[in-house]
Chains A and B, each alone.
Chain A
Amino acid sequence: MVTTTAQRLADDISPKRATATRRLLAFFKSEFLATLGIVLVLVMGITGIFAEWIAPYNPRANDFAAMMEAPGWAHPLGTDQFGRDLLSRIIYGARTAMIVGLSSALVGGTCGLVLGVGSAYFGGRTDLILQRIFDVLMAFPLIILALAVVAIFGTGVENVIIAITIPLIPRCARVVRSSALAIRELPYVDAARALGFGHLRIILVHMVPNVMAPFLIMVTAFVGQAILAEASLSYLGLGVQEPVPAWGLMLQGGAEEFATSAPWIAIFPGLAIVLSVLGINLIGDALRDHLDPKLRKR
């Protein structure tokens, strides 16, 4: 009885706090998959940013006395064929994945956003030419175009980012253009034109903010796609190069060679890829459900 009264009093004193907590709990309960996604991405983000403080060992340091050690107290996820601590390499690998994933998605998405909105705004010949260019670029599967770009510019983190960014541009531009086409016809765009605003101002200030919903959904999906593409390229030996710790790279060589004697070398880096991309995709799904009015009720 006393507790109940005390609780009621506490609720009366801080109604806002109680509502916010309740709302948060209700959100977590109703959006279980989105919550799971947020948790996974937060873990990935924090480990990537604070890798120096979190990683128990130097990810590049070989320890020939501890080669292919099974998971245990000293090395929670075991060691690879060079005695490098897998947990530390996975933690630093999160940073590489974040750098490649975020920069490819943001640069590719932003270029696609400007080109897509510009294509819809100007229409006519500009739109026709840009659409044909996008058609051509879209005819290349992501990994194939990325491989072709790597064949020309070579391997390494910067080149991998370029290789993944290029195929993402037309994919974003195409989606953004279809939303921008509808916005172009709205009266406020005509009003802005009548007021004598420049093309750049109309595009950036009046049109871009209104296509943010599909843009955000696309960019979120791109982060996951970029991480997967980077992992694939690195696994093939055509992406990030040693000694930079990268998840795909960790699955190359030793992971296959010692699959039966040291399966942890193959299992944990792959799990890191799956969980991080899963988290991003779950957030993307929740974002789509929230921003798309058709899906909001379901």
Chain B
Amino acid sequence: MYRYICKRILLVIPTLLGAAALVFVLMRLIPGDVCVVRLGSSGGTFDPKAIALCHAELGMERPLIVQFMDFVWGIVRLDFGTSMWSGNPVTTEIWARLPISVEIAILATVIAIAIAIPLGAVSAIKQNTWIDILVRLFAVAGTATPSFWLGLVSLLIVLNFTSAVFGAPWMPPIEYVPIWQDPIRNLSMALLPAVTVGYRYAAVSMRMTRSAMLEVMQEDYIRTARAKGLINKLIINRHALKNALLPVVTLLGIEFAFLIGGLVVTEQVFNLNGVGRLFVQAVQNQDYTLTQALVMLTVIIFVISNLVVDLLYAWLDPRIRYS
């Protein structure tokens, strides 16, 4: 098991280095000069001295390999430089917006698991019945619904419902308050975006739970359990569901990346000042230092979540660690 863990952790390094190289190259593919874009964004003319100063500030006059090594060293120390847009350290910008995004991501995952596993299992057990068709339709619709539209529609429903019932429309608060300070205000802000993002997450996991359950239900040990007279509830809970959840765990890890993507758009709908919104603002403001830092941060989260899933999978399924 330790050998497998070491091997898997070591595999993360080349992936992260490759991703860093790709981000580094992408940011240098920008047509024209980054400094011209930066200085030109304020309008008017600018003299060559200002451009030279900007180059020196960003360390662009140094050889590319030195710049890359500096970039990688910055990632290791979590120092991504300063934002071209606000002038603040990138880490400060991200750190200030991280709690809300993390909270929504965790809530969305909890909601997704709570919906996906029971519904997926019921759909498989009641295969080809109207319950199965309804659950499948709900799941396929989840993969087809853009989270930003679902957010818009849910806001619309909340606005109309509250104005009809209470006489005045109510909007979820947009300012972040930690859950330990004011749980009601915190949840009323985070719950709707979490449901919006979590629906797609739940839909994909539901489909996986269903197909995994269907596959497990055909296994010999289920037939044996039936033959020895075990009651259906025990067969499903103890034998089928436990084994069917293995691929679902993998999928939950992979889908975590989509969750980050979903946050980018959903935070925009709910006007939440999270990392996703910061990403969009960085791209809109052509803030390349902030963009490359956020892309790298997403990749790191994605690679680490995949690593955790792989290790969890190896722990759950002995066949993997011994192969």
Contacts and interface: CB of A to CB of B under 8 A. Distances in A.
A48 B303 CA distance: 39
Contacts of A149: 26
Interface string A203-226: 000000000000000000000100
A140 interface: yes
Contact of B144 (A32, A139, A147, A278): A278
Given A132-B14, A278-B144, A281-B144, A148 B159 contact: no
A274 B145 contact: yes
Interface centre among A137, A147, A295 (most CB of B within 10 A): A147
Contacts of B268: 235-236
A68 B290 CA distance: 39
Given A137-B22, A148-B295, A151-B288, A224 B302 contact: no
B265 interface: yes
Interface stretch (B44-52, B84-92, B241-249, B255-263): B255-263
Contact of A148 (B211, B291, B302): B291
A137 B127 CA distance: 37
B50 to A, nearest CB: 23
Interface of A: 32-33, 132-133, 135-137, 139-145, 147-153, 224, 228, 231-232, 235-238, 248, 251, 255-256, 259-260, 263, 266-267, 270, 273-275, 277-278, 280-282, 285, 294-295, 298
Nearest to B17: A136
Interface of B: 14-16, 18-19, 21-23, 26-27, 29-31, 127, 133, 136-137, 140-141, 143-146, 148-149, 152-153, 155-156, 159-160, 163, 169, 211, 214-215, 257-258, 260-261, 264-265, 268-269, 279-280, 282-284, 286, 288, 291, 295, 298-299, 302-303
Nearest to A238: B283
B152 A266 contact: yes
Given A142-B261, A151-B288, 9 more contacts: A132-B15, A139-B15, A139-B299, A141-B257, A142-B258, A255-B152, A256-B152, A281-B140, A298-B127
B261 A144 contact: yes
A228 B146 contact: yes
A297 to B, nearest CB: 10
Given A151-B283, A263-B156, A266-B156, A135 B26 contact: no
Nearest to B29: A152
A259 B171 CA distance: 12
Given A151-B291, A260-B169, A270 B140 contact: no
B302 A139 contact: yes
Contact of B146 (A152, A255, A256, A273): A273
Contact of B149 (A140, A238, A260, A270): A270
Contact of B302 (A141, A153, A231, A280): A141
Contacts of B136: 33
21 contacts: A136-B15, A140-B295, A144-B299, A147-B280, A148-B295, A152-B29, A228-B146, A231-B148, A232-B265, A238-B283, A238-B284, A251-B149, A256-B152, A260-B159, A267-B156, A273-B146, A273-B149, A274-B144, A278-B140, A285-B140, A294-B215
Given A236-B280, A281-B140, A141 B30 contact: no
Contacts of A237: 284
Given A142-B261, A148-B26, A251-B152, A277 B144 contact: yes
Contact of A132 (B18, B169, B265): B18
A140 B265 contact: no
Contacts of A136: 15, 18-19, 21-22
B39 to A, nearest CB: 18
A295 B153 CA distance: 36
B85 to A, nearest CB: 13
A141 B261 CA distance: 7
